[in-house]
Copies of this chain bind each other. A is one copy, B any other.
Amino acid sequence: MQDKFHDHCGVFGIFGHAEAANLTYLGLHALQHRGQESAGIVSSDRDRLYSHKAMGLVSDIFDAPLLATLKGDIAIGHVRYSTTGGSHVRNAQPFAVDFSLGSIALAHNGNLVNAMDLRYSLEQRGSIFQSSMDTEVVVHLIATSRLPSLVDRIREALGLLKGSYSMLFLTEKSIIAARDPLGIRPMCLGRIKNAWVVASETTALDLIEGEYVRDVQPGEMVILDEKGMQSVRFADPVPHRHCIFEFIYFARPDSFIFGQEVYGVRKALGHELAREHCVEADMVMSVPDSGTVAALGFAEGRRIPFEMGLIRSHYVGRTFIEPQQHIRHFGVKLKLNPVRKFIDGKRVVVVDDSIVRGTTSRKLVKMVRAAGAREVHVIISSPPTVCPCFYGIDTPTRQELIASSHSIDEVRKYITADSLGYLSVEGLHRAVGSNGNGFCDACFTGNYPIKFDDHPYPRQMHLF
């Protein structure tokens, strides 16, 4: 069994609400798109912690009697992405342990690029590891610190971490939220009545009718305890490097992250695409739902009618039977079906957010063409993905990224499109309103914000 070292995640925490576990359940529900593999909640009644985590969707894991066992008015929760293989409840979060200062639980969104090194050092010191999560090293750093207070220990530990993290620590009496100095992953702070809430995205606040206050700042620790909210900087300010891919694909369009609503950015991506690509066509359609908002922007910009030409099934099961040989493009078919008569004879633009290996795009183009499209033009609302992400987005190795080794025209040929248009890196930055700063666009440029001599290429580890 092999676990990927980095993965998608969502975190949620609430301090000082009588229904802490219930609201965490709802918050995780609103963050479910950030991870569908496993979910967990740890709560505190200010005396001790209560925990439950399991594989599966939030709504399948928790029910009312179970939530009732998660006592107290403080809770944190976590959802984790389903990667192929390597899934194991051992790697579900929050990660909770006893140590010299009491109990602590940790929920982490992001990826620590120096986790293997830290783990090696910690093992040499005598630490034992029960999971293959990079997150486990953080708890060990805190436990092995010589500093007297927990806040100081966390600050010290964070100082040793390299990579991306939006993290929540839960102790018997407090929640501590921390975000890496580059601010790679989002995390916001909100209120619901007198309670404080921390969440990966504002959709979680919306669902529980909480009020958005501000983002947790890069390099900031927010301490929530009986004294209220306290802000502590643990790192000197550096230029931010927000993950630009959150805007392109990962975050929900109704979320407000990095100071903007995702929906608006995606529309702008479409507008930029319209400016860059003068395709002649009869209709614009999207690969739902991730490509839809950019498609609307593109259609608007190009004044071509937008249609829902691909219908998405809401019932894609987690496992299914693949019939032998008889059916082509099967995986895509189970999820999407073209609107045949409407497409028939038309010149069609299909807008998608990105091309990874190219296999899915190829199936899609063939499917749309089989539905009668006279021409199939593919427009991608991001630049060619040429480098893997080491900061928490699940991408394959560089070798598997088709654009890393093929020209745009080669990709076009592979996916059998009549034309293929990517967004330029400049267009991308215009759409997000930055001039190349403030965002990590390493997956498109190889411009990694954390120096490679600071950390080795991430390695994989295995653990029974």
A residues near B, CB below 8 A?
Answer: 1, 19, 22-23, 25-26, 29-30, 32-33, 36, 42, 48-51, 57-60, 62-64, 67, 96-100, 103, 105, 123-130, 139-140, 143-145, 192-193, 203, 206-209, 252-254, 256, 261, 263-264, 267, 289, 292-293, 296, 300, 305-308, 311-321, 323-324, 326-328, 333-334, 337-342, 461-464
Are A97's CB and B32's CB within 8 A?
no
Residues on the B chain within 8 Å of A340, using CB: 206, 254, 256, 261
Residues on the B chain within 8 Å of A103, using CB: 463-464
Residues on the B chain within 8 Å of A123, using CB: 98-100, 143
Contact of A126 among B145, B289, B307 (CB under 8 A): B145
Contact of A315 among B57, B125, B130, B324 (CB under 8 A): B57
Are B98's CB and A126's CB within 8 A?
no
Residue on B with the closest CB to A101? B123
Question: CA of A311 to CA of B57 in the docked complex: distance in angstroms?
Answer: 19
Residue on B with the closest CB to A57? B315
Are A293's CB and B317's CB within 8 A?
no
Q: A36-B315, A317-B58 are in contact. Are A29 and B334 (CB under 8 A)?
A: yes
Interface of A is mostly: mixed
Are B100's CB and A126's CB within 8 A?
yes
Are A464's CB and B48's CB within 8 A?
yes
Residues on the B chain within 8 Å of A32, using CB: 313-315
Question: CA of A193 to CA of B289 in the docked complex: distance in angstroms?
Answer: 33
Contact of A129 among B98, B192, B334 (CB under 8 A): B98
Residue on B with the closest CB to A21? B321
Residue on B with the closest CB to A344? B261
Of A64, A128, A207, A312, chain B has the most CB atoms within 10 Å of the CB of A128
Residue on B with the closest CB to A208? B327
Residues on the B chain within 8 Å of A208, using CB: 323, 326-327
Are A337's CB and B127's CB within 8 A?
no
Question: CA of A396 to CA of B253 in the docked complex: distance in angstroms?
Answer: 34
Integer count of this chain's copies in the complex:
4
Are B140's CB and A126's CB within 8 A?
yes
User: Lowest 6 A-B CB distances belong to which pairs?
Assistant: A59-B317, A126-B144, A49-B464, A100-B123, A32-B315, A97-B128
Contact of A339 among B29, B60, B253 (CB under 8 A): B253
Are A29's CB and B308's CB within 8 A?
no
Question: CA of A342 to CA of B253 in the docked complex: distance in angstroms?
Answer: 10
Residue on B with the closest CB to A341? B261
Question: CA of A64 to CA of B264 in the docked complex: distance in angstroms?
Answer: 44
Are A342's CB and B97's CB within 8 A?
no
Report the minimal beta-carbon distance from A103 to chain B, rounded to whole angstroms. Answer: 6
Residues on the B chain within 8 Å of A334, using CB: 26, 29, 207
Question: CA of A45 to CA of B316 in the docked complex: distance in angstroms?
Answer: 29
Are B321's CB and A67's CB within 8 A?
yes
Report the minimal beta-carbon distance from A403 to chain B, rounded to whole angstroms. Answer: 27
Of A33, A124, A127, chain B has the most CB atoms within 10 Å of the CB of A127
Question: CA of A301 to CA of B128 in the docked complex: distance in angstroms?
Answer: 57
Report the minimal beta-carbon distance from A401 to chain B, rounded to whole angstroms. Answer: 26
Residues on the B chain within 8 Å of A98, using CB: 123, 128-130, 461, 463
Q: A254-B337, A261-B340, A342-B261 are in contact. Are A321 and B126 (CB under 8 A)?
A: no
